[in-house]
Amino acid sequence: MFDGRAKAWRQGTLRTGWSRMFVLLPALASGCVSDGTLLDENSAVALRTVRTQARQDLSCPAATVSIVSEKEVPGAPWGFLYSDYRVRAEGCGRSAFYDVECRDETLCDVKRVQP
């Protein structure tokens, strides 16, 4: 759920002409954007969001972050796609893992998880 409103989020057989359109429209659409694009676009904000939190959690201003795994996840039906990342943070001899779910470059949710 949206904890504390949007706070956490902000952190982050057919032969007719008609039938041809039915077939072509999704086919054209599916060729427009590759699945990797959304993940690439949102990765920067995901890393930035985790970096901020990890530096606090690890008490380490020099903590670095890296993506361990990533995938696209559909949310509620007929709605948005989310980019889901597992991110590792390390620094000052400590490490932590985070799950980050981003809808777009302005809306990410971060949770610290066990490795």
Chain contacts with another protein (rule: CB under 8 A): 1-2, 6, 9-10, 13-14, 16, 18-19, 21-23, 25-26, 29-30, 32-33, 35, 38, 71-82, 101, 103-104, 106-107, 109
The DSSP H or E segment spanning 53 is helix 35-57
Residue 44 CB, nearest approach to another protein (Å): 14
Q: Which residues pair with 87 in a beta bridge?
A: 67, 98
Query: Closer CB to another protein, residue 47 or residue 84?
Result: 84
- Contacts of residue 21, Cβ cutoff 8 Å, sequence gap at least 6: none
**Rounded Cα gap, residues 74 and 112, in angstroms:** 21
Query: Closer CB to another protein, residue 32 or residue 62?
Result: 32
Query: Closer CB to another protein, residue 62 or residue 76?
Result: 76
**Rounded Cα gap, residues 14 and 57, in angstroms:** 59
Residue 48 CB, nearest approach to another protein (Å): 17
Query: Closer CB to another protein, residue 18 or residue 114?
Result: 18
**Rounded Cα gap, residues 37 and 94, in angstroms:** 32
Q: Which residues pair with 71 in a beta bridge?
A: 84
Residue 95 CB, nearest approach to another protein (Å): 27
